[in-house]
Structure 1
Amino acid sequence: MMRSSRPPRAVSLRRFLLLWLLGGLWLVVACIAAFHLVVALIELARAQDARLVAALGASGQPGVGAVFERTGSLDGSRIAGDRMLEAFPWVASLPASGAPRLYVSQRGDVAVRAAAALREDATQSGGKVVVQAAEPMRARFAAWDRMPRQLLGWLAAAALGMSAVVVSAVAMTSRWLARARRALDAPQLDMALYDGPSELRPAMARMHELHQRQREWVEQQRRFLADASHQLRTPMSVLRTQLQSAMAGDVPAGEILPQMLHTVDRATDMANQLLSLSKLEQVKRAGRLQAVLLHAAAVDAVMELAPLIAAKRLDFALEGDEQLGATGDPLMLGELLRNLLANAIHHTPDGGRLGILVRAYAATVELVVWDGGPGVDDALRPRLFQAFSATKGGVGLGLSICRQIAEAMGASMEIYNRVDAGRVIGVDAVVRWSQAP
């Protein structure tokens, strides 16, 4: 059985509130009216039955007050009283003690409530007669005539007053919601001036925060794209100049080709890092992180960059607990490690030492990529993680992307000079998770 793909129908909150609140109110009014009506009918029925029993009297004649009275013999023949009232048909069922029996009968075309009982015949010694008293059945339902005047009047007035209150409350709620909608539509939302429902304030604040973050992100992307286009334009212009020089024969091919290769490599590195930044934004928006083994991720990065390590004859060391993990994204963690490791390889002199260390202490997990390079200049440190702030031989995006990847995985990243005996002997790039998984 296939389900319908139609979207759910939008429901008006105002109509919903009016229907449910007014419907519930009038349902309560109807229940109260029905309850009082039933009680009134029961009381009228009991009162009528009591009148009929009293009307039979203790003597052989019906008492005063019954509308219709009849006295008859045991065989049903009328002795006195109303000619149209039918005789009691179940004489044998009447108690000899004279207790009355209540029943429903007819008087012509009119339904009546009647009472019958055996009495001593005052004219015949020892004889018995059947005495009857009756009233129309409509007397039992006189509450129908009195209810609109006695009960339904004030119930309807109260319900109308409460309905007016409900309608006013719903209208006020609609105005509050309209204020909230206008506040969301405003380009700048000042929560201090928000005068809508307090229950909506957290949602409004959250929406304001999301809008603010969206505007900031768009502005960051705009600036980044402007910088990126400028940075990419530079190597392309250089490459064009080099090609023109080679075509004109101004520079020997053996001299210009390595320069062109370097320019192409520089542009390729920047394009790859821009692609990494695009992937990073996807990870941030997806927000799906998982436990990742840091040692295994480091092994993958080292295997990929092993040719570069071998080309410079570097002494590499990978240390730490193989089962130590942290929360992250496997692909972006690999990108982070490759960037840091490539940066360490670039700055370590030929035949030098570098490595990766995975360690944990207290509630902290650290991933350290260290090298034996010259260290970070203090003048460069303030803009070390700024985009397009390149050190010698770089494109200025690697460390910026690394820090953004770390923050997207709930970690922090810092660069420290490693000092021994007052002399800088290398750099430690430390990615730190404050909570172990």
Structure 2
Amino acid sequence: VVFVVVQRATRPVRRLSTLLQERQLDDLTPLQVVDAPVELLPLMEATNTTMRRLHHLLENQKRFVRDTAHQLRTPLAVLKVQVQSALRGDVDPIQGLTEISHTVERATQLANQMLALAKVAQLAQEKATAAVDWASSLREVALDLSPLIADKALDFEIDTTPAPIQTHAWMLRELSRNLLHNAIRYSPVQGKLQVRLLRDASHAALVISDCGPGISDELRKRLFQPFSAGQSHSGSGLGLAICLEITHTLGGQIELVNRMAHGQIDGLDTTVRLPLAAPSADL
């Protein structure tokens, strides 16, 4: 009698086990819960949640591999032509090596940024357990980029206030680094560059104000799309896409607005707002 009772009680579990075992390896479609026993609903809903996460990660990996193959094809083709040209003696050796060095540098930057984009997707699935002070992270990034600031003799100003953010430290550094690096790149020599980190009761706001050319209406339409650099020779076009992904992952907003003066563009104001960590979060 006990055996029969146990068999009947565990029949839905065994049926679910058989259903999962018979699936194809790449089948991550949700389980049907309409006619499922009430006692199995929590288990099936948890399984479906896991499957959705796995599906999302798998799609991100496929897109990453596809985009990487496509984007690296161009610099590798250029590099091949440059090497062949140098071997034939078509160009001066120093000029040839310089061109090859620039191509390798661009390919390396592209690879690093694509890895960063993939890392954002990975960390988005992992819950941050501690708060990170955005002010400290921002000042560390500014110090790392100080040689670029000095190279352009920029009038640089930074003003911060402590701002704890519930996130992975890498995300804040990458966000700050990309935005500040962009501002330095497009700032004119001896221009003014101002960085401010403000906060209110619930949010922190990073405002980076440069004196660059701003952004055109045409560029604004594709500003955050991957591989949409403002200038074809200036970068991979992934920096702002990374910033957008990080900002959305942290529940914030990002905005780029041309600063006007006397009817003309006087620079660009980049603002990122992120929610502050709960008061109980540990720094």
Normalised by the shorter chain, which TM-score bucket? 0.7 to 0.9
- What is the aligned partner in structure 2 of residue 175 from structure 1? 11
* Identity between Structure 1 and Structure 2 (%): 38
Q: Does 1:417 align with 2:281?
A: no
Match of 1:376 in 2: 215
Match of 2:269 in 1: 428
Report if the CA contact (8 A) 1:359-1:367 is conserved. yes
- How far apart are the structure 2 equivalents of 1:172 and 1:194? 20
Alignment of 1:142-181 (within 5 A): 167-168=4-5, 170-181=6-17
Aligned to 2:190: 351
| TM-score for the superposition, normalised by structure 1 | 0.56
The DSSP-based 3-state class of the residue aligned with 2:256 is strand
Is 1:283 paired with 2:123?
yes
Task: Determine whether 1:391 maps to 2:230.
Answer: yes
Q: 1:381 to 1:213 in 2, by over 3 A?
A: farther
Equivalent-residue separation in structure 1 for 2:39 and 2:227 (angstroms)? 45
1:196 aligns with 2:32: no
Q: Measure the CA separation in 1 of the matches of 2:206 and 2:111.
A: 27
Match of 1:406 among 247, 253, 263: 247
Q: 1:332 to 1:436 in 2, by over 3 A?
A: closer
User: Would the aligned equivalents of 1:415 and 1:427 in 2 still touch at CA under 8 Å?
Assistant: no
Closer, same or farther: CA 272–189 of 1 in aligned 2, 3 Å: closer
Cα distance between partner residues in 1 of 2:19 and 2:210: 54
Match of 2:281 in 1: none
Among 156, 175, 179, the alignment partner of 1:336 is 175
Give the AA of the match of 2:187: T
Query: Which residue in 2 is equivalent to 1:214?
Result: 54
1:181 partner letter: S
Deviations 1:21-44 (A, max 9, x none): xxxxxxxxxxxxxxxxxxxxxxxx
Task: Give the C-alpha shift of residue 237 in structure 1.
Answer: 1.4
Q: Residues of 2 paired with 1:175 and 1:376: CA distance?
A: 63
Rg comparison, structure with higher value:
1
What SS does the aligned partner of 1:416 have? strand
Q: 1:184 to 1:310 in 2, by over 3 A?
A: same
Total equivalences in the alignment: 270
Q: Measure, in 1, the Cα distance between the counterparts of 2:245 and 2:165.
A: 16
Consecutive unaligned residues of structure 1, counting only runs of 5 or more, are: 1-14, 20-166
Aligned counterparts, 1:29-428, within 5 A: 167-168=4-5, 170-182=6-18, 184=20, 187=27, 188-189=29-30, 191=32, 194-321=34-161, 323-392=162-231, 393-408=234-249, 410-421=250-261, 422-428=263-269
For residues 334 and 395 of structure 1, the distance between their equivalents in structure 2, rounded to whole angstroms, comes to 19
* TM-score, normalization by structure 2: 0.83
Stretches of 4+ moved more than 4 A in 1?
Answer: 182-186
Once the two structures are superposed, residues 108-127 of structure 1 have per-residue CA deviations (whole angstroms, 9 ceiling, x without a partner) of xxxxxxxxxxxxxxxxxxxx
Quick check: 1:320–1:358 contact (8 Å CA) kept in 2?
A: yes
CA contact (8 A) 2:207 2:272 kept: yes
Query: Could you report, residue by residue, the CA deviation over 1:186-242 in whole angstroms, capped at 9, with x for unpaired residues?
Result: 533354x53112243233223213212312321221122121122122112112211
Letter in 2 for 1:395: S
Q: Give 1:184 shift.
A: 4.6
Higher relative contact order (CA 8 A, sep 6+): 2
Cα deviation, residue 310, structure 1: 0.9
Q: Distance in 1 between matches of 2:257 and 2:157?
A: 19
From the superposition, tell whether residues 363 and 356 of structure 1 become closer, same or farther in structure 2 (CA, over 3 Å).
same
Partner of 1:57: none
- Residues 184, 235 of structure 1: alpha-carbon distance in 2 compared, 3 angstrom cutoff: same
Equivalent residues of 2:247, 2:254 under 8 A apart: no
* Alpha-carbon shift at residue 368 of structure 1 (Å): 2.5
Q: 1:203 to 1:317 in 2, by over 3 A?
A: farther
CA distance in 2, matches of 1:265, 1:373: 24
State the AA in 2 paired with 1:234. Answer: T
1: CA distance, partners of 2:217 / 2:38: 51
1:174 counterpart letter in structure 2:
T
SS in structure 2 at match of 1:415: strand
CA distance in 2, matches of 1:374, 1:183: 60
Alpha-carbon distance in 2 for matches of 1:345, 1:433: 23
